[in-house]
């Protein structure tokens, strides 16, 4: 099998599993390992080799979420929530019940003595996380998509 043909076969199997920017590296690494096995003298008597490729991904959730947020804000033209509506969000300290809960924006535990902001839909987040989200990535709750006002409220 030619080098190009092998590349296209591997690409076909990986195309639905990974984003395009990761494919060339994965394909190259896979091909390199396959070529070592095929070129090994002890495998010369075999006419057909059955190959299994296992890929392990280590995902940095905070970094991954940051990338997703940046891409979504660029691609979708997200509209921020109005400043006046954000000022009306209910502020509360973390109670004992929620100490071990995680903020779905940063994936960190709420912890003790942390201030939370609650959306009108009752979902709570670290104050800095939801403020950053509403200012930069859109006017919707990250959990249920509840829409905050985008125009300033009259005083």
H or E element at residue 90 = strand 90-93
| pLDDT value of position 12 | 75
The whole-model pTM stands at 0.49
Q: Burial letters for 108-140: b for 16+ Cβ neighbours within 10 Å, e otherwise?
A: eebeeebebbebeeebbbbbebbeebbeebbbb
How far is 70 from 78, CA to CA, in rounded Å? 10
How far is 88 from 112, CA to CA, in rounded Å? 23
Question: SS3 of 118, please?
Answer: strand
Domain ranges of the chain: 3-43, 79-136
| pLDDT value of position 67 | 67
How far is 148 from 13, CA to CA, in rounded Å? 42
Architecture of domain 79-136: 2-Layer Sandwich (3.30)
| pLDDT value of position 75 | 47
Q: Mind listing the pLDDT tens digit of every residue in the chain (155 residues)?
A: 566 777 777 777 766 666 666 667 777 777 787 777 777 766 666 666 676 766 666 655 666 666 666 666 554 567 889 999 999 999 988 777 676 788 899 888 887 657 899 999 999 999 999 999 999 888 999 999 899 998 876 55
| pLDDT value of position 25 | 76
| pLDDT value of position 19 | 60
* Residues 81 and 135: beta-carbon distance below 8 Å: yes
| pLDDT value of position 111 | 79
Q: Burial letters for 48-82: b for 16+ Cβ neighbours within 10 Å, e otherwise?
A: eeeeeeeeeeeeeeeeebeeebeeeeeeeebebbb
């Amino acid at each position: 099998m030619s080098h190009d043909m092998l590349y296209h076969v591997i690409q076909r199997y990986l195309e639905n599993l990974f984003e395009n920017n990761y494919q060339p590296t994965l394909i190259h690494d896979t091909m390199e390992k396959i070529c070592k096995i095929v070129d090994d003298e002890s495998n010369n008597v075999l006419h057909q080799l059955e190959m299994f490729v296992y890929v392990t991904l280590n995902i940095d959730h905070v970094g991954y979420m940051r990338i997703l947020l940046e891409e979504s804000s660029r691609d979708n033209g997200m509209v921020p929530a109005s400043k006046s509506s954000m000022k009306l969000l209910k502020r509360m300290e973390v109670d004992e019940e929620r100490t071990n809960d995680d903020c779905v924006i940063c994936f960190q535990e709420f912890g003790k003595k942390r201030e939370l902001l609650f959306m009108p839909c009752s979902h709570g987040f670290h104050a800095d996380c939801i403020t950053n989200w509403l200012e930069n990535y859109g006017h919707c709750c990250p959990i249920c998509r509840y829409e905050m006002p985008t125009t300033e409220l009259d005083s």
